[in-house]
Each structure stands twice: as C-alpha cells, then as structure tokens.
C-alpha cells in the first residue's frame, strides 16, 4: 500500500473505534481533557487561543471555548473559506451560540466577516483535532488537508493535538506535507513530542 492507502486504512479503523465508543466515555474523557487544558501552562499564559468546534465523536470542546471566553481570552475558531482549494481562516468569536452556525460538511463554523479574521501569526496557541496521532506528533485528519495547509508556517510549539488516549499510536506514515504538533493532550497524559527524526 502507498502512504495515502495506509493513512486511509488507519483513518477508517480509528473512526470506527471512536464512533462506537460508549457515550459516557465520550463525556467523561472530554471532561478530563478539558480539565487538563485548563491546567496546561501554555494555555494559561496565552491571550489569543484557537480551538475547534467538535464534530461527531471528536473530543467536545464547547465547554472549554465558553470557559476561555469567560476568562476574557481572545477565542478564535477555524472556518472553511474554499472547499476547492481546501483553505481556511481563523475567526474570532465572542459567543459560541450566537457567533456560529452549521455549515460546510455539516460542521459548525463561526460566522465569517472581514473584521473578525485573526492573522495566524497573532495566535498564541492552537488546538487541533485528529483521527489519530503518533508519538512524534504527526496526525491523521479527515483527509482534506485543511489544517496541514493552514499550519505550514506556524511554529510547532504553538500547536497542540487533542485526542482520546486510544488514538495514540507509535508511528503514522507521513509525506512531505505532513506537520507535527508540539504537544498532545489526552484524558490520561500530556505528551511532549519527541524531536527525534522519524525513520
């Protein structure tokens, strides 16, 4: 199998596991991950933080988004701007309910205006979801490449992967466009990504 086929096999496997996880684990694990984020020193020091609006069985981030807004942090979320070129922007919100809607691929998105786009260089910390991560911080998403394109020039230490612990594996096949996160937070651990070059 080539790299794309290997990734797709892993994607299908972990999506199956995640989608069939009992709902009470989903709630408990999400709660534990949110608590870990609250205690995460990089989060505590950050003023502008990018989260994501959870889709399907992803780790639920709504409560964390609301909490960050109450802390008067500047909260930004991704919005897909072009499905043909697979591009997105980071957009500031003030309220998770009034400032978002269900949009592309059935995923909730912030309402986009010219005035609420935040340059990525201004964002202190970026939380990203994934279908699977490896110990080197590489991730498998849904296969569209939105995050990989958008994060190309973002420092690795600003990027935090959010995942259930069973989604962590030893090694993911990568190509030249894949990027590594700097940290991974699960319900069981905070993983500081190894700087060792993958073989």
Q: What is the pLDDT of residues 162-175, one digit of tens each?
A: 999 999 999 999 98
Express each pLDDT in 112-129 by its tens digit: 887 899 999 999 999 999
Burial letters 130-163, b for 16+ CB under 10 A, else e = bbbbbbbbbbbbbeeebbbebbeebeeebbbbbb
Tell me how many domains the chain contains: 1
Does the residue 90 lie in any domain?
A: yes
Does the residue 96 lie in any domain?
A: yes
Does the residue 108 lie in any domain?
A: yes
CATH number at residue 45: 3.40.50.10420
Does the residue 33 lie in any domain?
A: yes
Mean pLDDT over residues 123-150, rounded? 94
Residue 127's nearest CA partner among 166, 167, 183 is 183
């Amino acid at each position: 199998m080539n790299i794309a086929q290997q990734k797709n096999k892993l994607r299908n496997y972990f999506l199956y596991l995640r989608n069939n996880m009992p709902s009470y684990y989903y709630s408990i694990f999400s709660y534990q991950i949110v608590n870990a984020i609250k205690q995460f020193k990089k989060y505590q020091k950050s003023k502008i933080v990018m989260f994501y609006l959870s889709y399907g069985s992803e780790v639920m981030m709504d409560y964390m988004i609301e909490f960050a807004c109450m802390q008067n942090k500047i909260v930004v979320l991704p919005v897909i701007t072009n499905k043909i070129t697979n591009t997105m922007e980071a957009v500031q919100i003030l309220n998770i309910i009034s400032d978002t809607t269900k949009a592309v691929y059935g995923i909730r998105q912030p309402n986009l205006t010219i005035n609420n786009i935040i340059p990525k260089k201004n964002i202190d910390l970026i939380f990203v979801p994934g279908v699977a991560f490896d110990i080197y911080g590489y991730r498998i998403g849904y296969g569209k490449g939105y995050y990989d394109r958008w994060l190309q020039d973002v420092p690795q230490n600003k990027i935090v992967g959010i995942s259930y612990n069973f989604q962590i594996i030893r090694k993911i096949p990568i190509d030249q466009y894949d990027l590594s996160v700097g940290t991974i937070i699960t319900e069981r651990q905070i993983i500081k990504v190894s700087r060792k070059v993958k073989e």
